[in-house]
Homo-oligomer: A and B are copies of this chain.
């Protein structure tokens, strides 16, 4: 029995990925060893790592200046690793503040140089993406968070700028077509759209590295990871393997354009219900709504607990909103079946009728 898993991350994965991984845990490709027991410097695992890196390149259509890495540490490590590698201590990087995760990134940048917050939607509790802002031409880079899991907002455009563009895409990577080559560094904890917790994907342009004067610890220097084929130290073997399987699955679905169509359909179905059901109300301005995380509340907050209980009986999991935005958050990552959104919408309709 599978539930309808709307978790914000770690979150739902394709069934075939789980079945394949479950078998590999006992015997990896007939080796007589579990995937957890093989040496990471042996050919079978090097092949896994290479395939994962190549699939990212292929699916995102990255140009040759990019290197793709699978690192330890989560996006939180990238919050400090990015400025450590790119921001001279006397210089300034531009950040757009679209919520909790941007703020964490801004805080870390300040340890290494200056962080210039060029725009923020804080005053409206992050219910939209700022559109009017000026990027200082001397900024070392511009950092954005393309999708904001907690508030349910998502950038619908790529900022036009001459400074290197850096993006935390943890919660919408691989979910929609974008011109990724407009970016200079893209990072993403893989546990939402491209794997399970324990690895972070970094796609970085070689041409932006090596320009800061500080000494960088070996494990935090992107150049070391590039030189070592993303195997500077023992990589998070199983997490990389799950990413490879998930990316293979994505390619089989038709890649990003194909999954985007389904993601569009899922989001349209849910937001349509939010907009037409008298009990519910979206919390984000319509034009900036996230197709990954839909946030909404009830006009009668006292009903929210009851609705949550009702959903639980319907095997709907993970829809309680983050404490900062309240209400509900329904996450619809790549692996979430359309049918799960149908079940969710049916639950909203039924509950509403019952209350009418």
Residues of A at the B interface (CB closer than 8 Å) are 1-3, 5, 7-13, 18-19, 21-23, 25-26, 31-34, 36-40, 72-77, 79-80, 84, 104, 107-108, 111, 189, 191, 196-199, 215, 217-220, 232-239, 242, 315, 317-318
Contact = CB atoms under 8 A, between A and B. Distances in A.
28 contacts: A2-B32, A3-B31, A5-B33, A5-B37, A7-B38, A9-B234, A10-B38, A11-B37, A32-B315, A36-B196, A40-B197, A72-B72, A72-B73, A72-B74, A72-B77, A73-B73, A73-B219, A74-B234, A76-B218, A79-B219, A80-B217, A80-B219, A80-B220, A108-B217, A197-B237, A198-B199, A198-B239, A236-B236
A25 B84 CA distance: 36
Contact of A197 (B111, B235, B242): B235
A138 B191 CA distance: 45
A3 B32 contact: yes
B25 A22 contact: yes
A81 to B, nearest CB: 9
Contacts of A22: 22-23, 25-26
Contacts of A7: 37-39
Contact of A198 (B11, B12, B220, B237): B237
Nearest to A320: B39
Nearest to A1: B32
Contacts of A189: 234
B19 A37 contact: no
A218 B83 CA distance: 13
B196 A39 contact: no
Given A25-B25, A73-B219, A8 B234 contact: no
A198 B37 contact: no
Nearest to A191: B234
B318 A196 contact: no
A22 to B, nearest CB: 4
Contacts of A25: 18, 21-22, 25
A10 B26 contact: no
A7 B156 CA distance: 49
A267 B44 CA distance: 29
A234 B34 contact: no
Nearest to A18: B34
